[in-house]
Amino acid sequence: MSTKRKVYYCPVEFTLDQIAGKWKILIVLQLRFGAKRYTELIKKVRGITPKMLSQHLKDLEQQGIIHRQIFAEIPPKVEYSLTKEGEKLFPIIDSLAQWGSVNMEKEKGSEIV
Amino acid sequence: MSTKRKVYYCPVEFTLDQIAGKWKILIVLQLRFGAKRYTELIKKVRGITPKMLSQHLKDLEQQGIIHRQIFAEIPPKVEYSLTKEGEKLFPIIDSLAQWGSVNMEKEKGSEIV
DNA sequence: TATAATAGTTACCAACAGGAAAGTTTTGTG
DNA sequence: CACAAAACTTTCCTGTTGGTAACTATTATA
């Protein structure tokens, strides 16, 4: 996600720009199962690096999709959760998951674990 | 889309890999309104270059999402249309469009034309 | 004083997606 | 023979995305 002001003529194009990239949707997917801490996300979002995670968490917070809550504890605790706005992405995630489940099976060498 | 064999553990991740990038979904979106020729697509998919269009048309054909029909005419005529498989992407496009319509309006400086 | 835990940041680098501009092929028409 | 039209292809270049690895800050505990 960039901060460039761009005029969109197409809602689909707008959405694609908002959630583009390898990680945003996968992060939201994990948060769907409940609020999570930074290190939990590192473990659950397979393959994501600290840099990518914090970068995308920042973006998502600015977009109003997730909420970041800091607990005044030692050691520090920060919890990420979906906002109401974020929950509105569920239909997108569902349709992606639906299409994926059907089409993954056609691929030789892929497994569902 | 790459040809690399990759094992997927998550249907959402699989789908994202299949339709990732700036153009695939926008091409499918246009073909939803009927079969189109190459030059029509160039005009309708705002901003796409010849290179990007033919590259993604090739990918989409290999993925079984679109069908390419050549007419033996002079000058040449090639028509692209969605396959049954391609039509299964409609729910994804619909959810992207839905989210986009709602959220675009919140952006100052964006207009729907 | 050294270590551990959490939540990051920073610097550097590589790969790939994408863009610009020009060229290619085929045949028909003036 | 030159040009037009359709459908691409090719070359070269740039910018963004993403990856690796190391480093930082804070406080508690042994």
| CA dist B33 → A111, B36, B82 (Å) | 35, 9, 10
pLDDT tens across B80-97, in order?
A: 999 999 999 999 999 999
Phi, psi (rounded to 5 degrees) for A77 = -135, 125
Report which DSSP code applies to B107: S
Tell me the chain B residues in contact with residue A98 when contact means C-beta distances shorter than 8 Å.
Answer: 11, 91
Please report, rounded to whole angstroms, the spatial distance between the CA atom of protein residue A112 and the C1' atom of nucleotide D16.
Answer: 32
Asked whether the beta carbons of residue A97 and residue B15 sit closer than 8 angstroms, the reply is: yes
How far is the alpha carbon of A22 from chain B, nearest alpha carbon, in Å? 8
- Per-residue pLDDT for B2 more than 50? no
Q: What percentage of chain A has pLDDT greater than the value 70? A: 89
Query: What does B50-75 look like in DSSP terms, one character per residue?
Result: HHHHHHHHHHHHHTTSEEEEEE--SS
**Does A1 reach chain B within 8 Å, measured CB to CB?**
no
> Quick check: pTM over 0.75?
yes
**Does A5 reach chain B within 8 Å, measured CB to CB?**
yes
Parallel/antiparallel/unpaired status of strands B66-71 and B36-37:
unpaired
pLDDT tens across A3-18, in order?
A: 456 889 899 999 999 9
Instruction: Name the average pLDDT for chain B.
Output: 91
- Per-residue pLDDT for B59 more than 50? yes
Spatial separation of the C-alpha atoms in residues A59 and A79, rounded to whole Å: 16
pLDDT tens across A55-89, in order?
A: 999 999 999 999 999 999 888 999 999 999 999 99
**Which of B8, B20, B113 lies at the smallest CB-CB distance from A104?**
B8
pLDDT on residue B106: 77
Spatial separation of the C-alpha atoms in residues B55 and B35, rounded to whole Å: 18
